[in-house]
Structure 1
Amino acid sequence: MADNGKTFGTAAKRWEGIGPYYAMFPIRFADAVIKEHTAAGDTVLDPFAGRGTAIFSASALGRRGFGVEISPVGWVFAETKLGPAPLEQVEERLQEIANAGCDYAKQAQSLPEFFKKCFSPSVRRFLLAARDGLDWRGCTCDRTLMAILLVYLHGKEGQALSNQMRQTKAMSPRYALKWWDENGTKPPDLDVVKFLQQRIRWRYAKGVVEPDGSRVYLGNSVTLLPKLARHMREEEAPKARLLLTSPPYFGVTNYHYDQWLRLWLLGFETDAYINRGPHQGRFTHSVRYRNLLKEVFCSAAKLVADDAVVYVRTSKDPFTKEATLDALREAFPMKRLVERCRPFRKPTQTHLFGDKTPKAGEVDLVLLPTKAARHSLGHQTSVAQQ
């Protein structure tokens, strides 16, 4: 089956795209890096896992992946891809939530104006029942249904449960209300069960990628990576042969604000503008940003083998790049650096949201064991530790 130029003929292809998410790298990129630098059975680590692209790629390619993600939205997507519940259970749970929606008529009417113009009454009742009833942290079935629901929570007309909105990120309530009023758009009055059931069955039509022990942990890498290191030592698990990640870029996106509506569905605040902590908003404090990168990469260094490859995609913005380089040099002082320039070939997401100023593009910072560095491709720019 072809869809928008993409082929979805395998289970991996059906599940890899779960979760529209800002600042994610493409699955093709993760596949290529993992194939180049690991063998079947090796371990891959991603301390800034996002929606779990690197970990899912590792699992689908016969490796084992471990990741950490601080955003509940990204974590729900990642864990669901790695081990979704059986289709029959998910469909049964969907109907249970729909039935429970009858009890939320009064609460649906008391929601702020944004929700009334974003979702029809029947959709609001369903969402409130899902918000209260789905145990996405502790139940695989509930998490699977929640992940699929989060995918279609908002998006273009006819493709989501909401009034017209972007899919990747939620817009501010004030902006959305103004836009809907000016353009005369209304929330779709649809059968939620039928709408989601069609999409759930499509997702499962080619099966699932069978669980293999790969995991993404929910929380802050600063505190979770040392615990993961102890666990691996106790289990005598092999260290990672590849660290593949893309840390947050300095001052680019607000990781709470962009996902505030999906976070609301997960049980968090109704307020899009709330500050949820230094590592869950926009990274604009230079010292905290540098410290975060250093702490995470130094902790991650204890989980990777001496001859491991460290592959980091980051921004060419001077501050972001230098902060990342400083952290990597401190964490991996014995490795050799290779830089691979990755210019933007298409408009960036910030361009799509109105910011059309020139962007520096991205760069891959690859840290290789010294012997391997000698064999890196001639067209790459090799830069010794400074």
Structure 2
Amino acid sequence: MSQMLHEIMLQRKQLQRWVKLGPWYAMFPLEFAQASIEQHTKPGQAVLDPFMGRGTTLAAAKMLERHAAGVEINPVAWVYAKVKTEPCDKLLLLERLEEVNRLSKGTKLQQMPEFYKWCFCDEVLRFLLIARSELKWKDDHVDRTLMAIILVDLHGNVEDSLSNQMRQTKSMAPAYSINWWKAKDMHPAEKDAYAILRRKIEWRYKHGLFSNKSKIMALNGDSTSILKETAEIGPFHLLLTSPPYYGIINYNYDQWLRRWMLGGPELPKYSAGKYQDRYDNKIQYQELLSKVFGESAKLMHERAHVVVRTDARVFTLESTIKALEEAFPGKSIKKVKRPVLGKTQTRLYGDQSKKPGEVDLILKPKPRQRTSQVKSRFE
């Protein structure tokens, strides 16, 4: 095997361990992101994703040696995106894990809602409470990486996560969970949080870290107000994104337990502020798309392409097309229908009813009109 081929295979292994970091419902397909970036940009150019979710667009751009910037309003997804594109050194991470574990020993458990006693054994809960209070995930590179590792398996299969039996992609309602556990007489098993997380870290870092000269910026906040901060990465040659679909998923409620881990309330709340619920207000939804695509247009190269994956349902599709046409009047638009093949934003967890699928909206610069500089010899 040639040295170059060996390096390529190693890079792929390194990337796969990090690119898919973070359970997240309605995940942007990596293959689609890669194909779009390769088709519409060149190495060294920049990609923008104003609804970046867990950062698949940014990770794909880095893999392909493009620069990229994105914004995400949900802090859980932002932690995933930030860490998968910029994980810390393994030894520093293990040292921090040991420190948090040491601090958790002998910690007195506080009074908490009944849910937590059914979800986690005492040792795990002590660890989580210390990690929740000690890790400065917003600002510290190492702490953020450890928090991401914790969030991934905060809940899921009882044999492979920190919790009692739960779904991994979605935090179920406390009352529902308690009733389910009680009905099955399923108390939380005794677990060692340190041992579980140490094993997860060893797996994640098995092939090392991938790095190149790509500049990546991942921001946590509202794209309608902070998108302009990504300008230092641009001008962008590709806008690649998938906005939230109207009335489908509440990322705040569905990720409430992970948001608690990041300092949020102990029990779920429907909304954490504007644009952080189910997007079921038509006026606000249209306003969101218009503002974000309007701000994005200011950051794009004049010959940039735009690729937006959206819902095939009439209101979401028409609202998205209208916002894009207003923001990019100089571009032609093409619609490509995508059948439902897996867990998309139109296929809720457990909902097997027929779905209308998704649509890719592809905007390209209109051909430049050329004016002949040579007069006809017959004039």
Q: Name the CA shift for 1:72/1:325 in 2 (closer, same or farther; >3 Å).
A: same
Structure 1 pair 73/238, CA: closer, same or farther in 2 (3 Å)?
A: closer
Partners in 1 of 2:11 and 2:91 — Cα distance? 21
248, 265, 283: which one pairs with 1:252? 248
AA matched with 2:124: V
TM superposition score normalised by structure 1: 0.89
CA distance in 2, matches of 1:141, 1:172: 31
Q: Is the 8 A contact 1:161 1:188 kept in 2?
A: no
Distance 1:250 1:267 in 2: 28
Matches of 2:307 and 2:271, distance apart in 1: 31
Query: What residue in structure 1 maps to residue 72 of structure 2?
Result: 69
SS at 2:142 equivalent: helix
Quick one: which of 302, 306, 312 aligns to 2:308?
Answer: 312
CA RMSD across the alignment:
1.7
Residue-by-residue CA offset, 1:11-63 (whole Å, 9 max, x unaligned): 11110111111122111111111111111101000000100000111011100
Q: Output the CA distance in 2 between the equivalents of 1:332 and 1:348.
A: 27
Query: Cα distance 1:318–1:29, how it changes in 2: closer, same or farther (>3 A)?
Result: same
2:22 equivalent in structure 1: 19
Larger Rg: 2
Which residue of structure 1 aligns with residue 13 of structure 2? 10
Question: Which residue, out of 310, 315, 325, partners 2:321?
Answer: 325
143-152 or 95-104, which deviates more? 95-104
The answer to whether structure 1 residue 262 and structure 2 residue 258 are counterparts is: yes
Residue in 2 that maps onto 1:370: 366
Q: 2 CA distance for matches of 1:61 and 1:115?
A: 43
Identify the residue that residue 277 of structure 1 maps to in structure 2: 273
Report the Cα distance in structure 2 between the residues aligned to 1:82 and 1:138, rounded to whole angstroms. 15
CA distance in 1, matches of 2:30, 2:56: 6
**Residue 154 of structure 2 contacts residue 162 of structure 2 at CA under 8 Å; is this kept in 1?**
yes
CA contact (8 A) 2:227 2:295 kept: yes
SS at match of 2:209: coil
Q: Assess if the C-alpha contact under 8 Å between 1:82 and 1:215 holds in 2.
A: no
Residue number in structure 2 paired with 1:169: 170
Distance 1:179 1:8 in 2: 43
How far did 1:184 drift?
A: 2.3
* Percent of paired sites with the same residue: 45
Can you give the 5+ residue segments of structure 1 that lack an aligned partner in the other structure?
1-6, 373-386
What is residue 128 of structure 1 aligned with on the other side?
129
Q: Retained in 2: the 8 A contact 1:341–1:364?
A: yes
- 1:348-375: CA deviations, max 9, x gaps? 5775634333211101001011239xxx
Deviation of 1:8 after TM superposition, in Å, equals 9.6
The DSSP-based 3-state class of the residue aligned with 1:106 is coil
Instruction: Assess, with a 3 A threshold, how the Cα gap between structure 1 residues 157 and 8 changes in structure 2: closer, same or farther.
Output: farther
Quote how far apart the aligned CAs of 1:274 are: 4.4
* Distance in 2 of aligned mates of 1:56 and 1:268: 27
> Residue 332 of structure 2 corresponds to which residue in structure 1?
336
Structure 1 counterpart of 2:195, which letter? K
Give the aligned partner of residue 378 of structure 1: none
| 1:302 corresponding residue in structure 2 | 298
Q: Distance in 1 between matches of 2:342 and 2:54?
A: 22
Q: Pick from 224, 227, 234: which aligns with 2:226?
A: 224
Q: Could you say which residue in structure 1 is the equivalent of 2:373?
A: none
**Partners of 1:83 and 1:209 within 8 A in 2:** no
- The partner residue of 2:60 within 51, 57, 63 is 57
Equivalent pair of 1:14/1:203 in contact (CA under 8 Å): yes
Q: Distance in 2 between matches of 1:88 and 1:165?
A: 31
1:213 to 188, 191, 215: 215
SS at structure 1 position matched to 2:271? coil
TM-score by length of 2: 0.91
The aligned amino acid for 1:135 is K
Give the counterpart of 1:47 among 47, 50, 61.
50
- Unpaired segments of 5 or more residues in structure 2? 1-9, 369-379
* Deviation beyond 4 Å, 4+ runs, structure 1: 347-352
**Structure 2 equivalent of residue 376 of structure 1:** none
